[in-house]
Amino acid sequence: MSDNIEKVKPEEVESNFLTAKESRAISKENRRITDAIEKQRNRRNVAESEYTTQMKNPENVVEFDDLKTYFYTDIGVVKAVDGVSFNVPMGKTVGVVGESGCGKSVTSLSLMQLVQRPQGQIVGGEIRLNLGDKVYDVAKVPSAEMEKIRGNVVSMIFQEPMTSLNPVFQIGKQINEVIVLHNPGVSNEETKRRTIEILDTVGIADAEGIYTRYPHELSGGMRQRVMIAMALVTNPRLIIADEPTTALDVTIQAQILDLLRTLKDKINASIMLITHDLGVIAEMADYVVVMYSGRIIERGTAQEIFLSPSHPYTVGLMASKPAVNRDVDRLYSIPGTVPNPINMPNHCYFKDRCPRAFDRCEGEYPGEYFISPTHSAACYLYEDMDNAAKTR
């Protein structure tokens, strides 16, 4: 598959000045590539051995391994996620943080096979999903099989509950539907009992009363609780929460985060928490992954990232975070902009914004250098430290 990708070379094209002919040629080539991938994905009766694999560490629920998810657009290929690797250990919360457009949502949508197709495609790497008795590589799972995993093993809480809840159905009916979908044959009484129970679990006081209400009759915080109830009712192994509290005010935000933490422990699930809010990450995460322009530029335990942020971009993010105990006239913001995603340079993507850039940074994109066994940064500042540790 990756051979095909190289044939469209958007970096050779001035993306802002494409002629109609060039644009048509790109569209045609895109269609050829995406048709081939779609055909492969939509096959029926695929042998399970084609998409089962092994976890590197059975204590992880998910292992992203060199994931590449690209969008084939009329002006070229957007490498939205380009070689991302990280693990989500069982029972832990991994925070994924980074500026808007860095690839956080596309990473999680890849795990659910919900990237907008056909233009969006997983074109490389593995997403190993631990189902207990077996392990699937989500990058290769056929669409039909994926339906069973989605919402069952992995479920997702979105930012804006109003767009995910159906306005014309009662709350209770919508949760019932999820239960029935995942438990065919379950009785009506049992379904209703479970719905009331989960509404109760997510802290909705009058669960019986809410059962017959419509989404617009609920406050934002209540709707988000309903979304969490829907995500948890199937007892997933992993909950993906993509900006779960951004649309809520601060007090409700704190309550929802508290709820997520408690419930995660109760059902022993893991959380992949996506946000651009470092405050939320600090409160919730055990591990942190920092993304920039489709790649991971730093990762470590939450303590390592917050106490000793190392990549200059992470240092900038920390400085741009508002703090109650800091008296500042205006928030620091990292100067400059991210590179054009269609025309990524062949050097550190942060170089033009980096206050610490030096001669070495003119070279190719930096590798992953380790600062501790659990803490690494894709930055030349740590090359010597990593090399010294290896020769020790």
Site residues for ligand ATP per CB under 6 A: 71, 73, 78, 80, 98, 100-106, 116, 119-120, 276, 341
**CB closer to ligand ATP out of 195 and 293:** 293
Whether the CB-CB separation of 291 and 275 falls below 8 Å is answered with no
Closest CA to 129 of 153, 95, 106, 96: 153
Positive or negative torsion for Cα 48, 233, 229, 177: positive
**What SS3 class is residue 49?**
helix
Supply 6's token pair.
């190289």
Query: Please, which residue, 198 or 297, has the CB nearer to Mg ion?
Result: 297
User: Which residue, 105 or 195, is less far from Mg ion as judged by CB?
Assistant: 105
Among 350, 369, 375, 376, binds ligand SF4 (CB under 6 A): 350
Q: Nearest distance from residue 105's CB to Mg ion, in Å?
A: 3
Among 137, 348, 369, 371, binds ligand SF4 (CB under 6 A): 348
- Bridge-based pairing of strands 154-157 and 76-89 is unpaired
Residue from 171, 260, 354, 371 that binds ligand SF4 (CB under 6 A)?
354
Structure token pair of residue 62: 């998910």
The CB-of-126 to ligand ATP minimum distance in angstroms stands at 19
Q: Minimum Å distance from CB 364 to ligand SF4? A: 10
| Residue 75 near ligand SF4 by CB under 6 A | no
117, 150, 321, 351: which one binds ligand SF4 (CB under 6 A)? 351
For 169-208, give one letter per residue: b (16+ CB within 10 A) or e. ebbbbbbbebbeebeeeeeeeebbebbbebbebbbbeebe
Residue 276 CB, nearest approach to ligand ATP (Å): 5
What secondary structure letter does DSSP report for 131? -
Amino acid symbol at 137? D
By the rule CB under 6 A, 312 interacts with ligand SF4: yes
Provide the b/e sequence for 127-158 (b: ≥16 CB within 10 Å): bbbbeeeebbbbbbbbeeebeebbbbbbbbbb
Burial of residue 121 (CB within 10 Å: 0-12, 13-18, 19+) is: buried
Q: How far is the CB of 196 from ligand ATP (least distance, A)?
A: 34
**Does residue 381 touch ligand SF4 according to CB under 6 A?**
yes
Among ligand SF4, Mg ion, ligand ATP, none, the one that 357 touches (CB under a kind-dependent 5 to 8 A) is ligand SF4
Residue with smaller CB distance to Mg ion, 204 or 271: 271
* φ and ψ of 230, to 5 deg: -65, -35
The answer to whether 339 touches 293, Cβ cutoff 8 Å, is yes
Per the CB < 8 A criterion, the answer to whether 126 and 139 are in contact is yes
C-beta of 120 vs 316, nearer to ligand ATP: 120
Min dist. Cβ of residue 145 to ligand ATP (A): 24
> How many residues are there in the chain?
392
Beta carbons within 10 angstroms of residue 217's beta carbon: 12
Q: Is 111 in the site for ligand SF4 (CB under 6 A)?
A: no
Taking the complex as a whole, the smallest distance from the CB of residue 42 to ligand SF4 amounts, in Å, to: 41
The reply to whether 385 sits near ligand SF4 by the rule CB under 6 A is: no
The three-state secondary structure class of 66 is: strand
Q: How far is the CB of 200 from Mg ion (least distance, A)?
A: 31
Q: Which does 361 bind (CB under 5 to 8 A by kind): Mg ion, ligand SF4, ligand ATP, none?
A: ligand SF4
Task: Assign 355 to helix, strand or coil.
Answer: coil
Q: Which stretch binds ligand SF4 (CB under 6 A): 7-15, 60-68, 228-236, 377-385?
A: 377-385
- Interaction between residue 309 and ligand SF4 (CB under 6 A): no
Residues 222-261 that bind ligand SF4 (CB under 6 A): none
Closer to ligand ATP by CB, 92 or 104: give it. Answer: 104
Rounded to whole angstroms, the Cα distance separating 335 from 352 reads 9
- The residues of the shown chain that bind Mg ion, judged by CB under 5 A, are 105
Stretch that binds ligand SF4, among 169-177, 253-261, 300-308, 356-364 (CB under 6 A): 356-364
Sites of contact with ligand SF4 (CB under 6 A): 311-312, 348, 350-351, 354, 356-357, 361, 366, 379-381
